[in-house]
Copies of this chain bind each other. A is one copy, B any other.
Amino acid sequence: MPPPIGTFEILHEDPTSKARLGRLWTAHGPVDTPVFMPVGTQATVKAMAPWELEAEGCQILLGNTYHLNVRPGMDAIERFGGLHAFQDWRGAILTDSGGYQVFSLTSLRKMTPDGVWFQSHVDGTRMFMGPKESMAIQRTLGSDIAMAFDECPPCPCTPEYAHEAVDRTLAWAAVCAGEPRAAGQLRFGIAQGGVYPAERERCAKGLLALGPGAFDGYAIGGVSVGEPDELIMPGVRMTVDLLPRDRPRYLMGVGQFWQMSESVAEGVDMFDCVMPTRLARHGMVFTRKGRYSVRNAVNRLDDRPMEEGCGCMACRRFTRGYIRHLLNVGEILGVRLTALHNIHAYFDFIARMRQSIREGTFASFRAETAAAYGPRPPAA
């Protein structure tokens, strides 16, 4: 008998940092944290089939409320019995709120207290989305975790704009917390505030003021949206410290290896990022030692796998030279193989991070990750 849906077990804590191993119980099974969630924007992780994600032990995917509402539309999702059935994904799904896309992808936006009027990025159709609409769409999608509708201000923005965006985000969070949910659906609040510590604090505290029943977890939004690298970790650190210890904490859209290990050290549990699949389409390959472009001419005659010692299907069977050729001539298999490898590399990274926490070697894991991937490699 699994624990009730929404239970978040903290299984182990790292003595050298705030890192922890946890398990979040969803309507589609457990999610072991720290977790990386591949992004399935349009009801698929780009270039991958669900059985390939299943083979990596993937427990949870991210879906995009805004995109799915535009295409295929909620009549189709309803007809097929929800997003899980539509894309035949048997694990858990977290849906974002749509706020990020409404504020970044659309044009001719007009704000109202209840939400935003905008034009669809596909065909210019006039649409409206606010907290009620976002929660209704996510209810139809039937995601395991729905995100509260928020406004993610761009970077740079003025303190005045950040203040107004936090006002709206808090007002909308209160509306979201009162909306009905799909059976077994969890709901997360999102702390915004841009690069302004006072706004971040006001937003996090405002979410908590809605009471423990309002949200099952909390996200840190608006990080890594264009601010300088050295502002990312301070923003994460100060927001995490304001969020309840006993609930999962989700750092949205952040997925560089060093950012993930540093954030886990601050107590973050969940991540998502388009990088492994987006960069795969450009031939960028993630390895334990750093990343490189397999499209480079230097790989033309290279008979090594993309990453030596890697156990993914692409590295077990194919050379860099072959994969470079496929990308060079525009063959889909090239993108499939780099995506397969990068997703494997991400799951391998997270698995090794979890193991290091379990075995008490997380401090050296962090140091190695920073050395291979950090924004400033250590001096030689």
Contact = CB atoms under 8 A, between A and B. Distances in A.
Nearest to A332: B47
B76 A313 contact: no
A332 B321 contact: no
A48 interface: yes
A111 interface: no
A316 to B, nearest CB: 9
Interface in A315-338: 317-319, 321-322, 325-326, 328-329, 331-333, 335-337
Interface string A113-155: 0000000000000000000000000000000000000000000
B318 A76 contact: no
A241 interface: no
A71 interface: yes
Contact of A72 (B43, B321, B336): B321
A303 interface: yes
B51 A313 contact: yes
A76 B50 CA distance: 34
A75 B303 CA distance: 13
Q: How many residues of A sit at the interface, in one of the four size bands? A: 35 or more
A44 B303 contact: no
A101 interface: no
A301 interface: yes
Interface in A250-296: none
A7 interface: no
Interface stretch (A80-88, A211-219, A358-366): A80-88
Given A72-B325, A79-B303, A332-B335, 10 more contacts: A42-B326, A42-B329, A43-B325, A47-B336, A48-B333, A49-B333, A76-B325, A80-B303, A86-B321, A86-B325
Interface of A: 42-44, 46-51, 71-72, 75-76, 79-80, 86-88, 300-301, 303, 313, 317-319, 321-322, 325-326, 328-329, 331-333, 335-337
